[in-house]
């Protein structure tokens, strides 16, 4: 009997990156830990995003192959050059965590 290589790859992929179609429940204690971690992550993303020249430098190669990213970068460059930005900032972020309840750790 031959095994389909595609099926093996899917099984191995699931072991490495398990997914669920519904939310996974975890303890209130873990929820509090994740809330704290989210604040730290959001502050990190905000500081990274605030360094405009660094961000533009990091995406320069990507801009060559991705028209959408290039257009966003062109808009950002115009805003920076014309000093037409607002003092207010908005960060849209999504945090996904893998939770190991046995060891009370989040990844």
pLDDT in tens, the chain (107 residues): 455 555 555 555 555 555 666 777 778 888 888 889 889 988 998 888 888 889 999 999 999 999 999 999 999 899 889 987 778 877 777 777 777 767 777 76
Per-residue pLDDT, 86: 78
End-to-end Cα distance, the chain: 39
Tokens 């950002």 belong to residue: 76
User: How many structural domains is the chain composed of?
Assistant: 1
Show the 3-state SS of 45-107: HHHHHHCHHHHHHHCHHHHHHCHHHHHHHHHHHHHHHHCCCCCCCCCCCCCCCCEECCCCEEC
- Predicted TM-score (pTM) of the model is 0.53
Containing domain of residue 79, as a range?
5-106
**pLDDT at residue number 19:** 64
Q: What is the pLDDT of residue 68?
A: 93
């Amino acid at each position: 009997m031959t095994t389909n290589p595609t099926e093996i790859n899917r099984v191995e992929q699931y072991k490495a990156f398990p997914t669920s179609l519904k939310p996974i429940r975890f303890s209130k204690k873990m929820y509090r830990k994740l809330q704290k971690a989210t604040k730290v992550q959001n502050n990190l993303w905000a500081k990274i995003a605030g360094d405009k020249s660094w961000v533009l430098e990091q995406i320069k190669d990507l801009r060559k192959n991705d028209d959408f990213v290039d257009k966003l970068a062109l808009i950002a460059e115009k805003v920076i050059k014309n000093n037409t930005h607002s003092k207010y900032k908005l960060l849209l972020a999504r945090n996904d965590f893998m939770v190991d309840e046995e060891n009370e750790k989040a990844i």
